[in-house]
Amino acid sequence: MEVRHWNAEVNGVSIHVAEQGPADGTAVLLLHGFPELWLSWRHQMAALAARGFRAVAPDLRGYGDSSAPADPAAYSMFHIVGDVVALLDHLQLTKVFVVGHDWGAQVAWHLCLFRPDRVRAVVTIGVPFFPRGPRSISEAFADRGDGFYITQFQEPGRAERAFARHDVATVLKKFYAIDFDDLTAPPGVEMVDFLEAPSSPLPWITEEELGLYAQKFHKSGFTGPLNYYRMVDMNWSLTAPWHGAKITVPAKFIAGDKDIGAQSFGIEQYIKSGGLKFNVPDLEVAIIDGHHFLQQEKADRVNSEILSYLDKFTGV
């Protein structure tokens, strides 16, 4: 079943969408992370389409063939979730299943927080829901110093200049191959220079697929994706009304047991201690063998986890 491509003019931007499966099938919205594209969902789209679902995978704003405003202020969580809601309106879909990975998981959680009426159930990969903390992100991570990746990403242009010292495919491979849990570079070193690009191909992505990613990032650049990080403190300020709010939507969280995201920042303890379940009462958790880019690395297992969960709601 072929992938269909189209663009929607929504929320003041143009959003590129890849779609697979019957147009009248039950919709599943797939939200990618950093630094990725709709293409990150190629395995899930095929599996969903084969089961009669309509898989809808946009390039989030700043990525691929979607609009990429230069101003960091255009990348608040309100803007990104606004794009998603406007896309659902454009498609005349009142309520959908949502699957998100990495930053896309953050967007999915906030969609559930802001507009639970639009989500039948959510599956997130790699990033659990965190309630709004007492301090901004910058304050919370201040003790990690200037080498911390989120800190380095704050200053407009800084990371872009560092990334530009490498070809685009190498930058992507450096991020795709991360397998340590503390993303802090030594003093005076930029994160992208500190990361190592493996000499051999990654087992879960072909050279041709990597080339497709690289081609899109070469065209659109990294400013849009980095601007998500530049808005973390603003998002903290903007979400004050939801302080203490829980996720009421039925949810499943999938993480790789070797995922840096699941092991760092006390996340593993947060999940195991019941903290996540407290904040997301209607929750299932699946910890499986794998690293961060789980839906590509362990596609069959992730497909099975997603489909078995959706089956509970669709009565298949």
**Residues with a known catalytic role:** 102, 229, 292
Going by the DSSP 8-state scheme, the letter that residue 251 receives in this structure is: E
Residues with Cβ < 8 Å from 18, sequence gap 6 or more? 3, 4, 5, 38, 39, 41, 45, 56, 57, 58, 59
- The SS3 of residue 45 is helix
Query: What are the C-alpha distances in Å from 286 to residues 107, 125, 231, 252?
Result: 20, 10, 30, 8
3-state secondary structure 107-173: HHHHHHHHCHHHEEEEEEECCCCCCCCCCCHHHHCHHHCCCEHHHHCCCCCHHHHHHCCCCHHHHHH
